[in-house]
Chain A
Amino acid sequence: MSNKQFPIRLGKVSFLIDKKSFYIISLLTFLAIVLMIVSLGIGQLFISPVDVIRAVIGQGTEMQNLVVNSFRMPRILLSMLAGAALAMSGAILQGLIRNPLASPDIIGITGGAALTTVIFLAIYTDRSNTLTMSIQWLPLASFIGAVVIGFLVYFLAWKNGRITPFRLVLIGVGVAAAADALTSLVMILGPIHSAAKATIWLTGSVNGTNWNEIATIAPWVFGITFILFIYARRLNMQELGEDLAKNAGQLVQRDRFMLLLLSTSLAGGAVAFAGGIGFVGLMAPHIARKIIGSAFGALIPVSALVGGMIVVLADILGRMLFMPLEVPVGVFTSLIGAPYFIYLLFKSHK
């Protein structure tokens, strides 16, 4: 083959590495790590990057170790993971539905999570505005909402033994609207304090993340990402259309189900812990497509890195701009992502 790609083969196992993709992914990974180190240093106690690295390996001052490892690290990891998960979820949906407007928001996954979240907050907030149930259970409530809505959409769209992407997305829009409506209803009927808390959740926030949460979400995201790599080639085929996918010997309906399941699980996991961070699921895959092209083997990791970096950067801004006040991370995701996206959009059209 050309010198732009090199194969790795070992017996029956074989992979093909595209050099350009490899370089871009390496570069983005490097940038993401730098960004995270910078982010670890930022806050009321400013720590230089060198000291951050020292603290990460436990060689800093006691104070630095505590701040970096216990306070900041979990939220930054969560930002990265949630951004990556949402971006991959969006990339899957855009390939599956073949519509640039597809995202976890539009087919109701985020809406479902929001609904169960506000219900949870409304039910377990008493008159004195205190939560009667441990907040630890909130992610579970959100996740259930995301998955239930995901499946509801899937089954409502199922007809005559098949799902068409077009019907899926239309039904998704309908169900999402119903979920949003119920969410508003619960917020208006419930106490205003829970509405305020719910608003922060709906905006998306990584404030106050602890290591337990990371221990739950990290295996989840990594596990699904691994399965996703197995499915990348199926997704490539899906994107060529149903006829060609069938021609290539793909069980189109089964794969659609699996891909939707993966997408829902990723988005559900992300919103469960970080709330309804907007924009990333819709736009990060577009940004990635402009950078690397359409083949999913590379598109998925690039989307993930772009999505993660957007959220980490948004979190930095959220903490810095109005110090000591903290702005929820979801506020800045599109503030960072949108201009860059628009730039890419028009650069590539010249």
Chain B
Amino acid sequence: MLKSNALKGLGLIIGLVIVLILMWASVLYGYTDITSQMIIDSFTNFDESNEHYIIQDNRIPRSLIAAAVGASLAIAGAIMQGLTNNPLASPTIFGVNAGASFFVVFGVTFLGITSLQSFAWFAFAGAAVASVTVYLLGSLGSDGLTPIKITLAGAAIAALFSSMTQGMLAMNETALEQVLFWLTGSVQGRSLEILMSVLPYLVVGWFVALLLGKHLNVLVMGEELAKGLGQKTYLIKLAGALAVVLLSGGAVAIAGPIGFIGIVIPHIARWFAGISYSWVIPYSAIIGAMLLLSADIAARYVIYPQEAPVGVMIALVGVPFFIYIARRGINE
């Protein structure tokens, strides 16, 4: 763990540089050979060559999306763990992925949607519906939103949605074929427009998350203590939930349900940055982006020339590292 604030700040800057390097690498490597010179040329001197089109229409959006989605999911996970005070919480527990998948599969099965753009809006809507339901259920009762209620209500709602999704898929083989790739999560083949249409939500989410850090530090010490310190806890919880919905909803809209990042990255971030959410959140963002970028690059080579879904690669890249850290000791 990095001890002083200066070191933590430095770590963050190094992390940011690594993210930029990985983004560059993500444009460089793949089925089509690209050189750094070509990337620069494609901006300054676009010559309509195949390579330049691939750079501009495929690789660059993909690299940006991987970074944005990875960061967003990891931040959402960190906030969820703070809100629920449970180290096992993730946006999945908020029902986000289950809701998004349900809406998309519903759309494919009954409304015949096919384009990735329409998948994105269905997914976003589903994520929002599921998480609002969870939030409302978790807030019922006189004691308001408590960690245990939101956790259990979330788990129940997530189970509810995912079972309905599985039901539709089990009944309909063609729908399965269409959405299977989407359901495992991928950042490949998404246009820049998809990112652009969702980006405003993500940016708001990032902004709220960064402001939220020091408030979460207080909230995790217990609701009563937080209130005693003058915190409007309902407001913090609402803002936290909003950030989770925007970030994970946006992420699932672009890339489909990607698990693991949300639950695991915050733990890795804590290993570097300690337990203060003011640091955990930016560190989560950086590490999440790193993981998704490197997983996406790895996905292009592991079953070359085919591409593996990035969700698969995230787990395969992230799990060994995570297990190493879990064994080295994580703050309980």
- Extra 12 A-B pairs, beta carbons < 8 Å, given A173-B264, A349-B149: A100-B151, A169-B88, A174-B322, A177-B318, A184-B309, A199-B176, A330-B166, A331-B170, A332-B167, A341-B152, A341-B156, A346-B140
Given A328-B170, A331-B166: A282 in contact with B327 (beta carbons within 8 A): no
Among A181, A282, A325, A327, contact of B313 (Cβ-Cβ < 8 Å):
A181
| Stretch in contact with the other chain, from A55-63, A78-86, A131-139, A187-195 | A187-195
Given A178-B315, A283-B156, A334-B159: A328 in contact with B173 (beta carbons within 8 A): no
Q: Cβ of B263 < 8 Å from any Cβ of A?
A: yes
Which residues of A from 98 to 117 have beta carbons under 8 Å from B?
A: 99-102, 106
A-side residues, CB < 8 A to B, are 99-102, 106, 156-157, 159, 164, 166-167, 169-171, 173-175, 177-178, 180-182, 184-185, 187-189, 192, 195-196, 199-200, 202-203, 278-279, 282-283, 286, 322, 325, 327-328, 330-335, 337-339, 341-342, 345-346, 349-350
Which residues of B from 142 to 196 have beta carbons under 8 Å from A?
A: 142-143, 148-149, 151-153, 155-157, 159-160, 162-164, 166-167, 169-171, 173, 176-177, 180-181, 184
Given A192-B173, A328-B166: A350 in contact with B326 (beta carbons within 8 A): no
Please determine whether A187 and B316 come into contact, CB atoms closer than 8 angstroms. no
Q: Cβ of B275 < 8 Å from any Cβ of A?
A: no
Among B86, B308, B319, contact of A174 (Cβ-Cβ < 8 Å):
B319
Question: Which of A99, A178, A335 counts the most B-chain CB atoms under 10 A from its CB?
Answer: A178
A interface secondary structure, majority: helix
A166 and B327 CA atoms in complex are apart in Å by: 11
Which residues of chain A have C-beta atoms less than 8 A from B169's C-beta? 199, 203
Q: Cβ of B106 < 8 Å from any Cβ of A?
A: no
Q: Cβ of B314 < 8 Å from any Cβ of A?
A: yes
A175 and B326 CA atoms in complex are apart in Å by: 12
Which residues of chain B have C-beta atoms less than 8 A from A335's C-beta? 160, 163-164
Q: Cβ of B40 < 8 Å from any Cβ of A?
A: no
Please determine whether B315 and A328 come into contact, CB atoms closer than 8 angstroms. no
Please determine whether B137 and A342 come into contact, CB atoms closer than 8 angstroms. yes
Which residues of chain A have C-beta atoms less than 8 A from B263's C-beta? 173
Please determine whether A174 and B164 come into contact, CB atoms closer than 8 angstroms. no
- Chain B residue with Cβ nearest A97: B88
Please determine whether A178 and B316 come into contact, CB atoms closer than 8 angstroms. yes
Which residues of chain A have C-beta atoms less than 8 A from B322's C-beta? 170, 174
Which residues of chain B have C-beta atoms less than 8 A from A199's C-beta? 166, 169-170, 176
Please determine whether A334 and B163 come into contact, CB atoms closer than 8 angstroms. yes
A325 and B167 CA atoms in complex are apart in Å by: 12
Among A100, A173, A184, contact of B311 (Cβ-Cβ < 8 Å):
A184
A335 and B315 CA atoms in complex are apart in Å by: 29
Which residues of chain B have C-beta atoms less than 8 A from A192's C-beta? 173, 176-177
Which residues of B from 273 to 332 have beta carbons under 8 Å from A?
A: 303, 308-309, 311-316, 318-319, 322-323, 326-327, 330, 332
Which residues of chain A have C-beta atoms less than 8 A from B267's C-beta? 170
> What is the interface residue range for chain B against chain A?
35 or more
Which residues of chain A have C-beta atoms less than 8 A from B181's C-beta? 188
Please determine whether B170 and A200 come into contact, CB atoms closer than 8 angstroms. yes
Among B143, B167, B314, B323, contact of A175 (Cβ-Cβ < 8 Å):
B323
Which residues of chain A have C-beta atoms less than 8 A from B314's C-beta? 181
A84 and B142 CA atoms in complex are apart in Å by: 34
Please determine whether A346 and B170 come into contact, CB atoms closer than 8 angstroms. no
B-side residues, CB < 8 A to A, are 86-89, 93, 137, 140-143, 148-149, 151-153, 155-157, 159-160, 162-164, 166-167, 169-171, 173, 176-177, 180-181, 184, 259-260, 263-264, 267, 303, 308-309, 311-316, 318-319, 322-323, 326-327, 330, 332
Question: Which of A170, A182, A338, A342 counts the most B-chain CB atoms under 10 A from its CB?
Answer: A170
Which residues of chain B have C-beta atoms less than 8 A from A286's C-beta? 152
Please determine whether B260 and A328 come into contact, CB atoms closer than 8 angstroms. no
A182 and B313 CA atoms in complex are apart in Å by: 9
Please determine whether A182 and B312 come into contact, CB atoms closer than 8 angstroms. yes
- Chain B residue with Cβ nearest A342: B156
15 A-B pairs within 8 Å (CB atoms) are namely A100-B148, A101-B93, A101-B155, A173-B263, A177-B319, A182-B312, A184-B184, A188-B184, A199-B176, A282-B159, A327-B170, A328-B167, A338-B159, A345-B153, A349-B141
Please determine whether A181 and B155 come into contact, CB atoms closer than 8 angstroms. no
Please determine whether B264 and A278 come into contact, CB atoms closer than 8 angstroms. no
A281 to chain B, nearest CB (A): 10
A152 to chain B, nearest CB (A): 10
Which residues of chain B have C-beta atoms less than 8 A from A177's C-beta? 259-260, 264, 315, 318-319
Please determine whether A175 and B319 come into contact, CB atoms closer than 8 angstroms. yes
B109 to chain A, nearest CB (A): 13
A130 and B281 CA atoms in complex are apart in Å by: 50
A192 and B267 CA atoms in complex are apart in Å by: 36
A188 and B180 CA atoms in complex are apart in Å by: 8
- Chain A residue with Cβ nearest B90: A173
A90 to chain B, nearest CB (A): 11
Among A101, A166, A188, contact of B309 (Cβ-Cβ < 8 Å):
A188
Given A99-B88, A100-B148, A283-B159: A181 in contact with B311 (beta carbons within 8 A): yes
A187 and B93 CA atoms in complex are apart in Å by: 25
